[in-house]
Amino acid sequence: MNPFKKFNMWFNLAKKNHTFDHTAFALGTENKGQPHTRMVLLKLILEDGFVFFTNLNSNKGSHFKYNKKLSMCFYWESIHKQIRIVGKGSIVDDKTSDKYFASRPRGSQIGAWASDQSSQIKSFSYLKQREKKFEKMFKGSDVPRPDYWVGIKIQPKEFEFWQQGNFRLHQREVYFLRNKVWQRKMLSP
């Protein structure tokens, strides 16, 4: 089976069964040999990759500029499944980021301007002041997408599908690319 097909099957199953947001995943980046993870939301599933949106000036954005290799990990407790993906990131085209940005609530759009993501701030009230500043600036008009706010597509080179089994005999199915063809192997849990 094509791993994208399997991903979609599990993702839809999680959507039906999950109590929390099934689109949330742990995103892994690397910076000078130090791995970092944080949660982000999967917003687009394309034929060849998975897209999340973020601020390119954030820590993760800086890591990504320096190392395009990224990892993703979903865990859906309700269906006892985990999916791990490793691959290469690339910035999606402006049209795709514009379209998604335009679909966000106005408050989130203002927030994208107000928050210089990952930078040190004096206080929370400083952030609220910035929010007010941008509300005023964009009053009566659409909020444009800041050019640093983009979608990043992760194009997988490997998937691991993990299904919980009894007595720790879990099933681990790995798909990897060889000569551009998906190959499948099983791993011991």
Cα separation, 29 vs 37, whole angstroms: 6
Nearer to ligand FMN, 19 or 141 (CB): 19
Residue 42 beta carbon to ligand FMN: minimum distance, rounded to whole angstroms: 8
> Of residues 121-180, which lie at the interface with ligand FMN (CB under 6 A)?
none
**Under the criterion CB under 6 A, does residue 41 sit at the interface with ligand FMN?**
yes
- The answer to whether the CB of 97 falls within 8 A of the CB of 145 is yes
What are the catalytic residues?
Answer: 168
Nearer to ligand FMN, 40 or 177 (CB): 40
Exposed e or buried b per residue across 48-63, where buried means at least 16 C-beta atoms within 10 angstroms of its C-beta? ebbbbbbbbbbebbeb
Q: Which of 48, 149, 145, 151 is nearest to 91 (CA)?
A: 151
CB 31, min distance to ligand FMN, A:
10
Q: Which of 40, 5, 6 is nearest to 162 (CA)?
A: 6
Q: Looking at 48-56, 66-74, 86-94, 168-176, which segment touches ligand FMN (CB under 6 A)? A: 48-56
Query: Among 1, 9, 39, 45, which residue interacts with ligand FMN (rule: CB under 6 A)?
Result: 39
CA of 113: how far to CAs of 17, 34, 58, 65, 188, in Å?
Answer: 35, 29, 13, 21, 47
**Shortest Å, Cβ 168 to ligand FMN:** 28
Identity of the residue, 108 or 129, whose beta carbon is nearer to ligand FMN in the bound complex: 108
Choices 47-55, 66-74, 108-116, 171-179 (CB under 6 A): range interacting with ligand FMN: 47-55
Residue of 67, 90, 118, 164 interacting with ligand FMN (CB under 6 A): 118
- Tell me how far, at minimum, the Cβ of 45 lies from ligand FMN, in Å: 14
- Which residue shows structure tokens 């983009």? 150
Please tell me the count of residues contacting ligand FMN according to CB under 6 A: 15
Residue ranges in 57-96 that form contacts with ligand FMN under rule CB under 6 A: 58-60
Question: Which residues, 6 or more positions from 144, have their beta carbon under 8 angstroms from its beta carbon?
Answer: 138
Q: By C-alpha distance, which of 61, 55, 63 is closest to 116?
A: 55
Instruction: Tell me which DSSP letter residue 86 carries.
Output: E
Site residues (CB under 6 A) for ligand FMN? 24, 36, 38-41, 52-55, 58-60, 117-118
